[in-house]
């Protein structure tokens, strides 16, 4: 049976025909058509050339039969090969400069971010004023409630209800604080600590110690960020809490001597 396909159908089939994906029957019909149709032959030639150029640009291997055809094809001459090579060089350079440009922009942003947020500068203890207030737990108004907690463990999500406690703290900027209710079991005191400084304190260390009857909180390593280290016109307040009765807050110098920053006089 001889089928003569219309050009339009043949052209739709050509990409699969090149990749040898057409059925035996379709392949035969396309072959038949190509024998008689010069226009479709030309289109097939163009498609094969485009494919070869694409593969060359990717640096991939060429199928032997294509190369053979190219060498026989007078339109694909040495000039075209030279132009292809130049194009590839330009493409590579363009890609490299785009990459380098993006990379430098990212580096600059990282540097600014680190200087503003991560690179730390020491703040002198003389620039910090410490005050604290001790509250007995039973003096505080405590509001109990529940909240849903979602925990991820070993890739599994688990939700459970947790008893919470909202502590209302008078005369403090921390007017209320929410904690897990279990946290308050056996807790008798809460100390609210305020640090006043012309610098924004990005980091400092704390270490609570029981020394006999006395609770001592050691603060140290006060740091502000490198670029964000101009003294503010208004003092910055940094607040924290200790679920302990703090009697004394102190700083230990490098030589081991101690400066008392605050002492409970009540």
Binding site for Zn ion (CB under 5 A): 7, 37, 40
What 3-state DSSP class applies to 225?
A: strand
* Shortest distance, position 38 Cβ to Zn ion, whole Å: 8
* Shortest distance, position 41 Cβ to Zn ion, whole Å: 8
Closer residue to Zn ion, CB minimum distance, 37 or 119: 37
What tokens appear for 69 in the block? 């055809």
Q: Tell me if 179 sits within 8 A of 246, measured CB to CB.
A: no
Q: Work out the number of other CB atoms within 10 angstroms of the CB of residue 244.
A: 18
* Shortest distance, position 10 Cβ to Zn ion, whole Å: 5
Closer residue to Zn ion, CB minimum distance, 37 or 166: 37
* Shortest distance, position 40 Cβ to Zn ion, whole Å: 3
Q: How far apart, in whole angstroms, are the C-alpha atoms of residue 261 and residue 130?
A: 6
Closer residue to Zn ion, CB minimum distance, 33 or 248: 33
* Shortest distance, position 43 Cβ to Zn ion, whole Å: 8
Closer residue to Zn ion, CB minimum distance, 37 or 137: 37
What is the bridge-based pairing of β-strands 248-252 and 258-263? antiparallel
Closer residue to Zn ion, CB minimum distance, 40 or 52: 40
What tokens appear for 79 in the block? 């000039």
Closer residue to Zn ion, CB minimum distance, 39 or 206: 39
Q: Which of 114, 256, 132, 124 is nearest to 189 (CA)?
A: 132
Q: Which of 172, 191, 195 is nearest to 241 (CA)?
A: 191
Give the DSSP letter of residue 115: I
What tokens appear for 183 in the block? 């946290």
* Shortest distance, position 104 Cβ to Zn ion, whole Å: 54
In a 13 Å sphere around the CA of 82, the CA atoms on its Cβ side amount to 3
Q: Which of 134, 123, 38 is nearest to 46 (CA)?
A: 38
């Amino acid at each position: 049976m001889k089928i003569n396909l219309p050009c339009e159908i043949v052209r739709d089939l050509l990409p699969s025909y090149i990749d040898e994906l057409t059925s035996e029957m379709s392949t035969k019909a396309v072959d038949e058509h190509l024998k008689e149709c010069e226009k479709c032959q030309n289109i097939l030639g163009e498609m094969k050339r485009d494919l070869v150029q694409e593969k060359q640009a990717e640096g991939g291997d060429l199928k032997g039969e294509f190369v053979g055809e190219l060498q026989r094809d007078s339109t694909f001459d040495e000039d075209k090969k030279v132009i292809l090579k130049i194009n590839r060089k330009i493409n590579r350079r363009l890609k490299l400069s785009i990459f380098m440009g993006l990379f430098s922009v990212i580096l600059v942003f990282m540097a600014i971010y680190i200087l503003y947020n991560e690179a730390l500068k020491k703040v002198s203890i003389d620039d910090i004023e410490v005050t604290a207030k001790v509250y007995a737990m039973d003096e505080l108004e405590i509001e109990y409630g529940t909240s849903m907690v979602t925990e991820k463990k070993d890739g599994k999500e688990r939700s459970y209800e947790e008893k919470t406690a909202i502590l209302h703290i008078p005369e403090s900027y921390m007017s209320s604080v929410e904690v897990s209710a279990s946290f308050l079991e056996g807790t008798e005191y809460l100390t609210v600590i305020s640090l006043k400084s012309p610098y924004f304190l990005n980091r400092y260390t704390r270490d609570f110690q029981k020394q006999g009857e006395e609770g001592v909180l050691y603060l140290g390593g006060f740091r502000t960020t490198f670029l964000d280290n101009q003294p503010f016109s208004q003092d910055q307040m940094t607040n924290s809490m200790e679920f302990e009765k703090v009697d004394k807050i102190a700083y230990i110098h490098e030589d081991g001597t101690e400066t008392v920053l605050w002492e409970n006089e009540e």
